[in-house]
Structure 1
Amino acid sequence: MPIPFVKDIDFEYGKAQSVSPLVRRLIARNPGPFTYTGTGVYIIGEGDVAVIDPGPVLDEHEAALDAALEGERVSAVLVTHHHLDHSPLAHPLARKHGAPVYGRAAPERHNPLSGDQPVTEEGADAAFTPDIELQDGQTISGPGWTLEAIATPGHTSNHVCFGFAEEAACFTGDHVMGWSTSVVVPPDGNMNAYLESLQRIRAREFETLWPTHGPPITRPDRFLRAYIGHRLQREKQIRDQVAQGRTTPEDIVPKLYSGVDKRLWPAAAMSVKAHLERLKENGEI
């Protein structure tokens, strides 16, 4: 089954738009091959609010977020993971409102095959440390809203999604994106963990998924079945390449990703490496 990607998104940079009864979204002007139209910052509730993934430190974006929150109190700043398009503005925003930052600390290891240089455009916020280290199942609440931390390692080891009880929704960060598949970058990313985390979100039967990049996914079960199926099909292709004597990402990527923008090949190499590690972990190669 092909992935039923969702790519159409109606937005205006610098403007917080209501996307559901209790949710507003403000998109940062940091578009790119890994961020789509940019980082979507979610504001939950009214008056006393939570902010999920405040995004990058850009003057225009920070000013727009301050304007969107004028007259309101941020009681919680939540971060799905430590990449530069998600977490850097978390502490500056929290300090303005006297709010704690919730999340999981950046791991010590970030980079795979390419030395000290990040292999994805987003890069890592290696110094990210939350004020409150989230535990799986922990809830954060305010007037009219409740958010539940759901540990979803895979894209990164510290990735967390946030279930939103009042709207049967989930804020999925980079774990699930409607416009694209997610990158899994070893050694911090792990394909076994990623596939297990996808199944975990699917089992919750949310009605809507809100990724940090791109539009919402309104048929999550159908989408996630295809998302998981795509990964397993790609893994079969990689297994076949190994059987033909191609055993490194550098050998495999040009064969399997010939029609993909070459700017994405370094990220594709990381996902291939993650699949190779999973096959090895599972005793298949």
Structure 2
Amino acid sequence: MKVTEHVHRLPVTTPTLYPATTTNVYVVRDGNSAVLIDAGYEHEVAHQAVVDYIEQIGSPKIEAILITHYHRDHSPGSKFFRTHFDCPVYAHPAEISFLEQEIAPLKVDHTLLDGNVVSVGSLELHVLHAPGHTHGCLNFWLPADGVLFTADNIVGEGTTWIGPPDGDLRAYLHTLRRLKTYSASMIAPGHGEMIANVQEKIDFFIGRRLEREEQIYKLVQHQRMTVDELVVAVYQNTVHPSVIWVAERTIQGHLLKLVGDGRVKQLDGDRYLAI
């Protein structure tokens, strides 16, 4: 569906994490020139839905596929689209080795770095290296429409998980604060509907991470606790067993930051205690 003058949002079914059930593939178009931001999963029905939609809007030429990060609900569809549209795949250098496992035997054609600009007709799509969810995550800024493409750094419903080996909580908070500096009127998230309350949404994501950090810190102030014990204490059995690994990595991510900040120390036996 068309969401701004130059942006179309195509939610496609993917094996993503609840509460999301789809991943957004975006078409950024100006005249007969267009690019895809993300490609979804390797699924024939999802591929056809994107192809049909692009035909419905007049079949602009797809110049490139811009992958925000390698996770398989965002990237493997580029295998099909690269061949179908005969266009290159772009990603951040830090994502390449992981991404090429998802799209093998294809390779990433070009890299994108912070500060690069992708031309789409007369539009300028600005590249933001936005680490946090992954080390090489890319976000994009389209000033012509006031749209920030935030991938999984900001999602439409719920929050996103940040933890090792992909994530870095300190980098994530820095990315969120940087996103606040753009005069965006809309956020185009990796999952969910377009977001109009931009500043409020970013503040919510920052606040949620900081609240969780303080919750964990208070738990280890007076007793030594393991990651498993913290998962039970923090999530109180509210997390479905299928995604318990997300809770574990989230706790690990917060502990890494707390240790790095000098507020918590790791003891023998993988227990943690506030300093």
TM range, smaller chain: 0.7 to 0.9
Q: Distance in 1 between matches of 2:243 and 2:34?
A: 36
CA 226–130 in structure 1, closer or farther in 2 if over 3 Å, else same: same
Q: Which residues of 2 match residues 254-273 of structure 1 at below 5 A?
A: 254-258=232-236, 260-262=238-240, 263-273=242-252
CA 218–259 in structure 1, closer or farther in 2 if over 3 Å, else same: farther
Matched, 1:52 2:37: yes
Identity over aligned residues, as a percent? 29
Which position in structure 1 is the counterpart of 2:270? Answer: none
Which position in structure 2 is the counterpart of 1:279? Answer: 258
Q: Report the number of matched residues.
A: 256
CA contact (8 A) 1:74 1:94 kept: no
CA 222–53 in structure 1, closer or farther in 2 if over 3 Å, else same: same
Q: Distance in 1 between matches of 2:181 and 2:226?
A: 34
**How far does the alpha carbon of each residue in 1:113-150 deviate from its partner, in whole angstroms, 9 at most, with x for none?**
xxxxxxxxxxx838685311111010101224321110
Which position in structure 2 is the counterpart of 1:39? Answer: 23
Matched, 1:85 2:73: yes
CA contact (8 A) 2:163 2:251 kept: no
Alpha-carbon distance, 1:225 to partner: 1.4
Q: Distance in 2 between matches of 1:32 and 1:109?
A: 17
User: Which one has the bigger strand percentage?
Assistant: 2
Moved more, 222-231 or 23-32: 23-32
Q: Distance in 2 between matches of 1:136 and 1:231?
A: 25
Select 1:198's aligned residue among 172, 176, 188.
176
The one-letter code of the counterpart of 2:129 is A
Q: Which residues of 2 match residues 176-195 of structure 1 at below 5 A?
A: 176-195=154-173
Q: Secondary structure at the match of 2:64?
A: strand
Q: Secondary structure at the match of 2:125?
A: strand
The one-letter code of the counterpart of 2:193 is P
TM-score of the two chains, using structure 1 as the length reference: 0.83
Matched, 1:208 2:186: yes
Q: Distance in 2 between matches of 1:147 and 1:129?
A: 23
The one-letter code of the counterpart of 1:98 is D
TM-score of the two chains, using structure 2 as the length reference: 0.86
The one-letter code of the counterpart of 1:131 is D
Q: Distance in 1 between matches of 2:64 and 2:21?
A: 25
CA 60–108 in structure 1, closer or farther in 2 if over 3 Å, else same: closer
CA 109–27 in structure 1, closer or farther in 2 if over 3 Å, else same: closer
Structure number with greater Rg is 2
CA 35–56 in structure 1, closer or farther in 2 if over 3 Å, else same: farther
Q: Distance in 1 between matches of 2:88 and 2:177?
A: 30
Alpha-carbon distance, 1:198 to partner: 0.7
CA contact (8 A) 2:239 2:247 kept: no
Return the structure number with greater relative CO, CA threshold 8 A, min gap 6. 1
> Unaligned regions of 5+ residues in structure 1, if any?
1-16, 111-123
Moved more, 244-253 or 19-28: 244-253
CA 243–223 in structure 1, closer or farther in 2 if over 3 Å, else same: same
Which position in structure 1 is the counterpart of 2:84? Answer: 96
Select 1:249's aligned residue among 199, 205, 227.
227
CA 129–163 in structure 1, closer or farther in 2 if over 3 Å, else same: farther
The one-letter code of the counterpart of 2:135 is S
Matched, 1:73 2:61: yes
Q: Secondary structure at the match of 2:180?
A: helix
CA contact (8 A) 2:42 2:79 kept: no
CA contact (8 A) 2:117 2:127 kept: yes
Moved more, 165-174 or 18-27: 18-27
Q: Distance in 2 between matches of 1:36 and 1:187?
A: 22
Alpha-carbon distance, 1:261 to partner: 3.1
